Structure 1
Amino acid sequence: MNISKHAELANHAWSVADLLRGDYRQSDYGKVILPFTVLRRLECVLEPTRDKVVETVARFAGQEIDTDHFLRKASGNS
């Protein structure tokens, strides 16, 4: 990632933070941002296999079968 793109993303993050500060007390701000940061990171990590996992869920929908093994295989994660 080049420096200008990094700066653009950082500025965007801070502008969103400024918007949120109006709705949350400063002491509660971290309680909101940290969970969303973790969720976004998980989304980014799992994105490459998302379509395959969704397809696997659809294939086994309505069946009374433990899909854990199949979902792990589709995601490539344990």
Structure 2
Amino acid sequence: MMSKFFLTPLSPSCADLIEPPTAAQGDTIVRSALHQADERAVAEVAARLAQAEGCTRRLDALAELHRAPHQHAGG
């Protein structure tokens, strides 16, 4: 089925009105895209780990082993 919507070239007068993003705006766009990709990747990994039997419990135990020496070293 053919979509009703399609892209048409902008008229020359309309194209003149569109300004490219500034360097700062480009940086913001790239940072936002990278952040969203990171968030999506972390969510996907967390979901996969949560499905593995006992994985979250084992990860918590591993994190606790790593934390324990640091808690007693300072006090």
- TM category (shorter chain) comes to 0.3 to 0.5
Provide the TM-score with structure 2 as the length reference.
Answer: 0.32
Provide the TM-score with structure 1 as the length reference.
Answer: 0.32
Structure with higher Rg: it is 2
**Structure with a larger share of its residues in helix:** 1
- Of the two structures, which has the highest relative contact order with CA contacts closer than 8 Å and spacing of 6 or more? 1
